[in-house]
Structure 1
Amino acid sequence: MKYLLILGDGMADEPIPELGGKTPLEVAKKPNMDRIAREGRCGMMRTVPDSQEPGSDVANMSILGYDPDKYYTSRGALEAVSMGVPFGPADLAYRCNFVTIENGKMKDFAAGHISSEEGRQLFASLQERLKDFGVKLYPGVSYRNVLMLPNGKGSVTKAPHDIVGELIDPYLPTGDDAAELHRYMVISYDVFANHPVNKARIAAGKNPANMIWPWSGGAKPAMPAFSEMFGKKGAVISAVDLLFGIARCAGMDVVKVPGATGYLDTDYLGKAKAAVETLKGDADFVYMHVEATDEAGHLGSVEEKIKAIERLDEAVGYILDHFDGCVMLMPDHPTPIAKKTHTRDPVPFAVLGLEGKDAVSVYTEKEIAEKGSYGMVRSVDLLKMIFAEN
């Protein structure tokens, strides 16, 4: 048996008044997801321990079988591992967003989803100003970057996507590294103010990337190999460094797909084809992660979330037509349109290709919560449970 897990990041939601009290999953046309639920078995899953903040880092690590209370250090550390940056034993890696600050408020946690090339130009100018401080900046994909702090001691930080529209002062870093991080944030504001990249963005009606926002810093994680835990060779398909970081820490193969952007315009079908081809090789398990549904939730866009679900469903259709194995479908956490950020509520999952089925007829939060025969499952137990059924 081979296994494919399809992860729609942030795909679950809450009832939305403008949809008549339905969720995007209830409204979207998704015959292939519904088929998985109708012909397979379903359940609800808790992906975030009470001890952790709800986020894609903790949730995806947990779904892959790694207890975040044992193995999680920070989002920044996972992304740094993915990017292959030098990571010493005394270093702390912080996730570092480009953001848009306006009138002292967090206007945009992603700086208008700035392009990676624009980000590289901004970081080059900022690194020149910071060359005597010892700190290193590493550009990633779009607004997602890494700040490596030598001899870091740690800091309490806030994810920028959690404070959109709010004054930033109450959420600035606190703790041992705070003064240093504040200094770099202030310098970035100065460097970016009249930067050619931002002048061009403003002229084009786009949000400027006028400051960095470091958050979720930690040391390099140490995790057992996925193959040692489950006796299976695994691979991860994604467009974001976070998932690739988890994969590298777990000794799983990293599969990058041309056209996969980590945004609404990602190549859904390209990911599906890559997943099927990877499983034709020596991989026993593929984790296909799609970020677009989460981005739509952060944007608070009902239309884009429904569209992302429907485009993902087309990719699911390709998988069902070309892969004869166990297919799992789930979000990592909800990203409700109304809240524009993650919550820790349980999420619906469906499994097709193993024995048995239940009374579920469509893939929605309510239907699966009421009729799923798996009941409530801890995400860290999911793969162990599924692999044991074969």
Structure 2
Amino acid sequence: MKYVVVIGDGMADYSLEELGGKTPLQSAKIPNMDYIASNGVSGMLKTVPKNMEPGSDVANLSILGYNPEEFYTGRGPLEAASIGANLDNGNVAFRCNFITEKDGLLADFNAGHISTGEGSELIEALNQNFYRFGKFYLGTSYRNLFVFNDKKSAELKSTPPHDVVGDPFMDNLLNPREDENARILNGIMQDSKSVLENHPVNKRRIESGKNPANMIWLWGQGVKPKMPQFSEKYGLKGATITGVDLIKGIGMYLGLTNIHVPGATGYYDTDYCGKAKYALDALQDHDLVFLHVEAPDEAGHAGDLGEKMKAMERIDSRILGKLLKNLPSFGDYAIAILPDHPTPVHVKTHTRDPVPYAMYSTGGVRDDVQRYDEISAKTGSQGVMEGYKFMKNFIEYAKSR
């Protein structure tokens, strides 16, 4: 039996007036997602516990079968594993975004999707100026990391930058402000502007009409987590396919194989076909592939309905279409499609609403749902389930006859 879980990050949305009261999933051309729903079973998944922020870290950990309330320590340490930042018991990893500050406002949480090459030059400059406090690590595009040398900083309250676009950055710094670590780290964020704003990289970006990466934003901090291996928990050898360090980092902690796909960017231009091809290749010697696509989430954050629907349709045609065509060659298989969380285009950030999921297995039972979307899945036979129970349910469903 082979298993594939396809995550369309942030796909779920609300009913939109411009779509005649339909959601993007209801309006998009997604025949392969509909095939999975109409030939399998559907339900709703609560991927984010009530007391936790609706982030991709919490949600994807949950989908993989690990209760975030038990295993989650922060986003930063999950990404640290992927980009080669070794944590010990005295260090805390912070997610470090390159942002654009303008007139005292957090104008752009990703600095115009700065390239990784440009980011490498800026990371070097940051390390030259702030080395006595910790170390900056290069990630992908605007997604980088800072390892701070005081574990007490893990207790600070931080704010995801994508939640406060357009707000005064001074209103959203690390709290409590009087804490010594908060004072140091907030100082680093503010002082980063003097290091970055006149850097040659940003001069070139401004000349080209692009947003400069003129500040950093520290958030999502945590200490190194301890989690049981996926193979021990489920008896399956698994692999991840993604363009995002967060998912790669989770995979490393769980003992999953991170499959490198050339052209997997974590953005609209990611190589959808390449991800499908590498997933099929990985199934030659793995039991399960966890395939993640970031593009719908990026479109949701940008409030771009057109790009969000394009991303969903590309997942459907270029990934699911290829998988459904070739998976029968492996014999029995099961496949599931779902978002990790909603990223509604009118909200421009994550919400904690339950997400729709559909799963199909050769020889498995089916329910009466005919389409894959937020409304149809509510009528599915699976009902509403806690997110961390999904993986066990998916595996058991695949084996049922």
- TM-score scaled by length of structure 1: 0.98
Task: Give the AA of the match of 1:303.
Answer: G
1:361 corresponds to which of 366, 370, 391: 370
Q: Secondary structure at the match of 1:232?
A: coil
Give the equivalent residue in structure 2 for 1:289.
292
2:175 counterpart SS class: coil
After superposition, residues 116-127 of structure 1 pair within 5 angstroms as: 116-127=116-127
Which one of the candidate residues 342, 345, 358 is aligned to 1:337?
345
Alignment of 1:1-390 (within 5 A): 1-131=1-131, 133-154=132-153, 155-175=156-176, 176=179, 177-281=181-285, 283-314=286-317, 315-324=319-328, 325-354=333-362, 355-369=364-378, 371-389=379-397, 390=399
Q: How far apart are 1:382 and its partner, in Å?
A: 1.1
Q: 1:116 offset after TM fit, Å?
A: 0.2
CA distance in 2: counterparts of 1:311 and 1:386, whole angstroms: 24
In structure 1, how many angstroms separate the alpha carbons of the residues matched to 2:395 and 2:372?
22
* Structure 2 counterpart of 1:20, one-letter code: G
Greater alpha carbon shift after TM alignment, 59-68 vs 175-184: 175-184
Structure 2 residue identity aligned to 1:336: P
Q: Equivalents in 2 of 1:343, 1:122: separation in Å?
A: 32
Q: Residues of 2 paired with 1:304 and 1:44: CA distance?
A: 25
Does the 8 Å contact 2:89/2:151 carry over to 1? no
Alpha-carbon RMSD: 1.0
- Determine helix, strand or coil for the equivalent of 2:390: helix
Whole-angstrom CA distance in 1 between matches of 2:10 and 2:394: 22
SS of residue in 1 equivalent to 2:381 = coil
**AA paired with 2:351?**
T
Counterpart residue type for residue 298 of structure 2: E
Specify the code of the residue in structure 1 equivalent to 2:297: D
Between the aligned partners of 2:169 and 2:197, the Cα distance in structure 1 is 18
1:81–1:220 contact (8 Å) kept in structure 2: no
SS at match of 1:153: helix
* Amino acid of the structure 1 residue aligned with 2:158: T
AA at the equivalent of 2:383: G
CA separation in 2, counterparts of 1:190 and 1:134?
Answer: 17
Residues 161-180 of structure 1: CA distance to partner in whole angstroms, max 9, x if unpaired? 00011112221011442111
Aligned residues: 387
Gaps of 5+ in 2: none
- Note the alpha carbon deviations across 1:209-237, whole angstroms, 9 max, x for none: 01000001110011000011111111111
The one-letter amino acid paired with 2:36 is I
Looking at structure 2, the residues matched to 289 and 96 of structure 1 have their Cα atoms a distance apart, in angstroms, of 22
Alpha-carbon displacement from aligned partner over 1:267-294 (angstroms, at most 9, x marks no partner): 011111111111122x111100000010
User: Which range moves more in the overlay, 17-26 or 292-301?
Assistant: 17-26
**Would you identify which runs of 4 or more consecutive aligned residues in structure 1 move more than 3 Å?**
none
- Helix, strand or coil at the partner of 1:136: strand
SS at match of 1:89: coil
Alpha-carbon deviations, 1:108-135, whole Å to 9, x = none? 000000000000101111211123x231
TM-score, normalisation: structure 2: 0.95
- Equivalent-residue separation in structure 2 for 1:165 and 1:28 (angstroms): 30
Per-residue deviation, residues 55-77 of structure 1 (Å, max 9, x unmatched): 10000000001111111011011
Letter in 2 for 1:347: V
Query: Contact 2:83–2:138 at 8 Å: present in 1 too?
Result: no
Amino acid at match of 1:304: E
Separation in 1, partners of 2:45, 2:158: 28
Q: Equivalents in 2 of 1:250, 1:240: separation in Å?
A: 16
Residues in 2 aligned to 1:31 and 1:382: alpha-carbon distance in whole angstroms: 23
Paired residues of 1:261 and 1:267 also in contact (CA < 8 A): yes
Percent sequence identity over aligned pairs: 49
1:89 and 1:293 map into 2 onto residues whose CA distance is 36
2:82 and 2:130 map into 1 onto residues whose CA distance is 24
Q: How big is the shift at 1:20? A: 1.5
Q: Secondary structure at the match of 1:316?
A: helix
CA distance in 2, matches of 1:247, 1:284: 15
- Aligned counterparts of 1:195 and 1:71: Cα–Cα separation in 2: 40
- Give the stretch that moved more between structures: 163-172 or 203-212: 163-172
Does structure 2 conserve the Cα–Cα contact (< 8 Å) formed by 1:3 and 1:285?
Answer: yes
| Kept in 2: contact 1:96–1:147 (CA 8 A) | yes
Which secondary structure state, in structure 2, belongs to the residue aligned with residue 246 of structure 1? helix
